[in-house]
């Protein structure tokens, strides 16, 4: 009988990322929302990336047309000139390929920012971003993290048709291991993107093409906003309206119209849905006893569905009316401009839902 033999094979693992100086949120306060400096949403995103790249040479941006063309939506305008072609990288139209390459870079110690021209196109890279990036830390027993940011336009961009108008948060938020950020304004977008780039986990940062030109006061200095910290966008005592992303602006419009009718609605901007600030929602529901959730996803198995579930689990005894959802219509996104407007959770539909909750 032959003697058994064994050999030891040494495997050289990639270097683990160095410890990142994560923003210190001790004593954190909301950024000042009033001031003379007014810039577009796209510039707020650019400033967040510039601050991060100046601070940490491991941060780089890649995606379709981000370099030579200054970005398909001019978000990365001027960044190639400042940081050069090794850190601002144009990619082929191959989301699966460049998403996988960026994940490998993150595992090797870099901090990529991947721009999807549209989150609709991220479906091509689903195996990479949903099956690999979120599970890497768990499946490697803690040996490899994946500090990566995937960002780009989410939702109906204005007559782009059904296949280019996905709201992916309802689908992607089901996956453990990712953090999902959906800002409603430029000030929050800058602070949340800074936090996203410093975060040790994969972050999905969902923007709206329809808001890129929106202007507001954004502080010039560098700042960060913590995840899982909702913002009270408007105070009120008659009904809580919970939302995130672009629909927050429709909620505020509806709340102003409702005030003319004697109904004072409180609007909560969630900012992130993973993690979800359920404590802020419960606190508001205890005050108003009524809640409407506004979500630009399709209604079945949506983010709104999860929020309703958690409200019932945590605040059932404070409800004087069942929670009501206002979602995108349960049909493919129409191309026609008027139909798309009705398809989305617009101010009229939101006001009608709140009136029904308050007056029934």
For 325-344, the pLDDT digits (tens) are 999 999 999 999 999 999 99
Helices 303-315 and 278-288, packing angle to 10 deg: 60
Per-residue confidence (pLDDT) for residue 360, from 0 to 100: 83
CA gap 295, 19 in Å, rounded: 36
CA gap 248, 296 in Å, rounded: 10
Domains 38-217 and 231-359 share a fold: yes
Per-residue confidence (pLDDT) for residue 247, from 0 to 100: 96
CA gap 84, 9 in Å, rounded: 40
CB of 358 closer than 8 Å to CB of 350: no
What does the block give as tokens for 255? 């709340």
CB of 49 closer than 8 Å to CB of 232: no
Per-residue confidence (pLDDT) for residue 9, from 0 to 100: 38
- Give the number of other Cβ atoms within 10 Å of residue 77's Cβ: 15
Residue ranges in the chain whose pLDDT is less than 70: 1-22
- Assign a CATH topology to domain 231-359: Rossmann fold (3.40.50)
Q: Catalytic pick from 47, 95, 306, 340?
A: 95
Active-site residue 13, yes or no?
no
For 164-185, write each residue's pLDDT tens digit.
889 999 999 999 999 999 999 9
Half-sphere exposure of residue 312: CA atoms within 13 angstroms, side-chain side: 11
The CATH code of the domain at 38-217 is 3.40.50.970
CB of 95 closer than 8 Å to CB of 121: yes
Which of 156, 117, 114, 118 lies closest to 132 in space, CA to CA?
114
Q: Catalytic pick from 164, 169, 207, 306?
A: 164
pTM of the model: 0.92
Query: Exposed e or buried b for every residue in 306-345, given b needs 16+ CB within 10 A?
Result: bbbeebeeebeebbeeebbbbbbbeeebbeeeeebeebbb
Active-site residue 169, yes or no?
no
Per-residue confidence (pLDDT) for residue 160, from 0 to 100: 86
Compute the Cα dihedral for 122, 124, 126, 129 and give only its sign.
Answer: negative
CB of 117 closer than 8 Å to CB of 63: yes
Q: Where are the domains of the chain?
A: 38-217, 231-359
């Amino acid at each position: 009988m032959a003697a058994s033999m064994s050999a030891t094979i040494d495997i050289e693992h990639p270097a683990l990322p160095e410890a990142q100086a994560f923003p210190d949120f001790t004593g954190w306060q909301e950024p000042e929302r009033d001031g003379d400096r007014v810039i577009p949403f796209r510039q707020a995103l650019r400033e967040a990336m510039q601050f991060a790249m100046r601070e940490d040479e491991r941060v780089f941006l890649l995606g379709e047309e981000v370099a030579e063309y200054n970005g398909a939506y001019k978000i990365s305008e001027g960044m190639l000139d400042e940081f050069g072609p090794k850190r601002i990288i144009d990619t082929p139209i191959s989301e699966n390929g460049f998403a996988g390459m960026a994940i490998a870079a993150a595992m090797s110690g870099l901090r990529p920012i991947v721009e999807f021209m549209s989150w609709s196109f991220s479906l091509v890279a689903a195996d990479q971003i949903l099956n690999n990036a979120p599970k890497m830390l768990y499946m490697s027993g803690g040996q490899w993290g994946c500090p990566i940011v995937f960002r780009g336009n989410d939702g109906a961009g204005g007559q782009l048709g059904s296949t280019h108008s996905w709201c992916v948060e309802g689908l992607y938020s089901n996956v453990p291991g990712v953090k999902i950020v959906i800002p409603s304004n430029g000030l929050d977008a800058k602070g949340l993107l800074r936090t996203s780039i410093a975060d040790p986990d994969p972050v999905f940062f969902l923007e709206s093409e329809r808001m890129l030109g929106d202007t507001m006061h954004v502080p010039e200095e560098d700042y960060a906003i913590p995840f899982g910290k909702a913002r009270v966008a408007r105070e009120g005592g008659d009904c809580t309206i919970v939302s995130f992303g672009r629909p927050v602006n429709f909620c505020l419009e509806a709340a102003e119209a409702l005030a003319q009718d004697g109904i004072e609605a409180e609007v909560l901007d969630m900012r992130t849905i993973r993690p979800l600030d359920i404590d802020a929602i419960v606190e508001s529901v205890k005050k108003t006893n009524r809640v409407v959730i506004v979500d630009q996803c399709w209604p079945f198995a949506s983010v709104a569905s999860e929020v309703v579930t958690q409200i019932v689990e945590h605040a059932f005894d404070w409800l004087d009316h069942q929670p009501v959802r206002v979602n995108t219509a349960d049909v493919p996104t129409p191309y026609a401009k008027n139909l798309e407007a009705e398809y989305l959770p617009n101010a009229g539909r939101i006001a009608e839902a709140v009136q029904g909750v308050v007056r029934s």
